[in-house]
């Protein structure tokens, strides 16, 4: 009985020790070339940074910080050395390891221990390379850099990487400018990532409010589904190869420009204007199908399961494009992934863009013009 009690007590103590060991997250590593220097660990609330601890590097440059609590939500922290920073993500209770050099603290460093960390380091590397090549102001206008970062936002299901990218600054100026229409669309995709995958994360609301403020500053925020004002005067080269509800892949390039009128329609089935859009397309389909009309419909509903149910009723090609996926195509065609206002592009038999139609009642005139 006594032995049994001892075993239980030992097991309990081991369990408590284990829980204690796993309570908080850790950041550790080495900063070469700066023995006995000071390093700051900083956290933020919506980009308002504050120091949470001050560390003194050892004689060999080693450091270690242990948080008292696990991160409640995936968060971004940073190390500050002088006026330079290294940013790193923390999901919960992991140990993040950072290796850096004091001379070039924010360049050439490595971060491990978190799956998002290498992606954030890559973002920093891309931005630093652009600044080195183009200067700070040039980096803000570097569209090649933006294109690469936009793809990362587009593919991000962790959400934290999207948040990090759209919040980046270069020379104290935001990399993503609320006055730039394309930048605002990327901000919208970052907000969509959170609203879709982490709706209860407080940053979901923050990003949504940022996007609304940007839209309002641009004068493009309306009280009803928005009509994107920029014109598309020629057929974009964006990739539109997507899958239908049965998993079959359809490529818009294989449909358009084969001697018949083609309608490329972007919509959200859960949007307010979707019923009127569907009625107009159905009328056009019934009237012109015999003469070869093709309809290629791209839906970007946030809920793919709901989209599949709706797509089952469509007689034309209906494919799915998640609102955070293939953002380049949505941008190229000036499609609004938030409000979901339907828009149609009408092409003639040679594949030339004839009309961009926002009002579905104007679809018959556009088709007649394309014939």
Q: Which residues of the chain have pLDDT under 50?
A: 1-20, 221-232
Q: What is the pLDDT of residue 58?
A: 95
Using one digit for the tens of pLDDT, what is the confidence trace for 71-109?
Answer: 888 899 999 999 899 999 998 889 999 999 999 998 889
Residues 106 and 135 grouped into a single domain: no
Residues 170 and 291 grouped into a single domain: no
User: Considering the domain boundaries, does residue 51 fall inside one?
Assistant: yes
Give the domain-ending residue among 81, 114, 147. Answer: 114
What's the CATH code of the domain at 333? 3.40.30.10
User: Considering the domain boundaries, does residue 354 fall inside one?
Assistant: yes
Q: Give the CA count within 13 Å in the CB-facing half-sphere of 363.
A: 27
Give the domain-ending residue among 58, 80, 114. Answer: 114
DSSP readout, 219-287? Answer: T---SSS--------S------EEEETTS-EEEGGGTSSSSS-EEEEEE-TTSTTHHHHHHHHHHHHHH
User: Considering the domain boundaries, does residue 14 fall inside one?
Assistant: no
Residues 160 and 272 grouped into a single domain: no
pTM: 0.53
Tell me the C-alpha to C-alpha distance, in Å, between residue 330 and each of 157, 202, 209, 322, 333: 18, 27, 21, 10, 5
Q: Tokens representing 102? A: 């004091």
What's the CATH code of the domain at 43? 2.60.40.180
Residue burial 304-327, b: 16+ Cβ < 10 Å; e: rest: eeebbebbeebebbbbbbbbbbbb
Residues 363 and 251 grouped into a single domain: yes
Tell me the C-alpha to C-alpha distance, in Å, between residue 325 and each of 182, 220, 237: 15, 23, 17
Candidates 167, 171, 168, 173; CA nearest to 210 is 167
User: Considering the domain boundaries, does residue 340 fall inside one?
Assistant: yes
Number of helices (H) and strands (E), helices first, in the chain? 10, 17
Q: Are 229 and 220 in contact (CB under 8 A)?
A: yes
Bridge-based pairing of strands 38-45 and 294-299 is unpaired
DSSP readout, 119-139? Answer: HHHHHHHHHHHHHHHHHHHHH
E strands, the chain, are 26-32, 38-45, 48-56, 62-66, 75-81, 84-90, 95-101, 110-112, 169-170, 173-174, 241-244, 249-251, 262-267, 294-299, 317-320, 343-347, 353-357
Candidates 93, 132, 99, 104; CA nearest to 118 is 99
Q: What is the pLDDT of residue 329?
A: 73
Q: What domain range includes position 330?
A: 241-370
User: Considering the domain boundaries, does residue 186 fall inside one?
Assistant: yes
User: Considering the domain boundaries, does residue 15 fall inside one?
Assistant: no
Q: Are 199 and 302 in contact (CB under 8 A)?
A: no
Q: Are 163 and 197 in contact (CB under 8 A)?
A: no
Residues 327 and 257 grouped into a single domain: yes
Residues 109 and 137 grouped into a single domain: no
Give the domain-ending residue among 185, 218, 251. Answer: 218
Spatial distance between the Cα atoms of 25 and 152, rounded to a whole number of angstroms: 26
- Cβ neighbour number for residue 355 with a 10 Å cutoff: 17
Q: Mutual orientation of helices 181-197 and 202-218 as an angle, nearest 10°?
A: 160
Using one digit for the tens of pLDDT, what is the confidence trace for 184-238?
Answer: 888 888 888 888 788 888 888 778 777 776 666 565 543 333 333 344 456 776 7
Q: Mutual orientation of helices 363-370 and 274-288 as an angle, nearest 10°?
A: 40
User: Considering the domain boundaries, does residue 320 fall inside one?
Assistant: yes
Q: What is the pLDDT of residue 228?
A: 34
Q: What is the pLDDT of residue 205?
A: 79
């Amino acid at each position: 009985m006594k032995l049994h009690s001892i075993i239980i007590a030992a097991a309990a103590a081991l369990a408590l020790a284990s829980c204690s060991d796993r309570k908080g997250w850790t950041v550790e590593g080495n900063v070469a070339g700066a023995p006995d220097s000071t390093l700051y660990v900083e956290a933020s609330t919506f980009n308002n940074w504050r120091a949470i601890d001050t560390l003194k590097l050892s004689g060999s440059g080693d450091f270690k910080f242990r948080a008292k609590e696990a991160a409640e939500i995936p968060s971004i922290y940073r190390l500050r050395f002088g006026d330079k920073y290294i940013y790193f993500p923390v999901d919960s209770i992991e140990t993040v390891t950072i290796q850096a050099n004091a001379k070039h603290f924010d360049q050439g460093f490595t971060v491990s221990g978190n799956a998002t960390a290498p992606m954030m380091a890559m973002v920093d590397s891309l931005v630093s390379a652009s600044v080195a090549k183009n200067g700070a102001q040039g980096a803000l206008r570097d569209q090649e850099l933006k294109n690469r970062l936009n793809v990362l936002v587009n593919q991000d299901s962790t959400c934290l990487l999207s948040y990090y990218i759209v919040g980046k600054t270069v020379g104290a100026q935001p990399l993503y400018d609320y006055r730039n229409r394309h930048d605002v669309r990327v901000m919208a995709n970052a907000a969509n990532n959170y609203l879709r995958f982490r709706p209860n994360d407080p940053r979901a609301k923050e990003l949504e409010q940022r996007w609304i403020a940007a839209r309002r500053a641009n004068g493009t925020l309306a009280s009803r589904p928005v009509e994107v004002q920029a014109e598309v005067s020629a057929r974009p080269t964006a990739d539109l190869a997507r899958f239908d509800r049965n998993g079959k892949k359809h490529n818009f390039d294989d449909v358009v420009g084969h001697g018949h009128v083609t309608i490329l329609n972007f919509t959200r089935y859960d949007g307010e204007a979707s019923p009127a859009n569907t009625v107009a397309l159905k009328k056009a389909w019934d009237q012109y199908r015999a003469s070869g009309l093709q309809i290629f419909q791209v839906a970007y509903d946030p809920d793919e399961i709901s989209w599949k149910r709706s797509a089952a009723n469509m007689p034309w090609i209906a494919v799915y494009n998640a609102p955070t996926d293939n953002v380049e195509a949505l941008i190229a065609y000036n499609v609004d992934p938030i409000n979901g206002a339907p828009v149609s592009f009408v092409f003639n038999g040679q594949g030339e863009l004839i009309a961009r139609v926002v009002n579905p009642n104007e679809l018959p005139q556009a088709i007649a013009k394309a014939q």
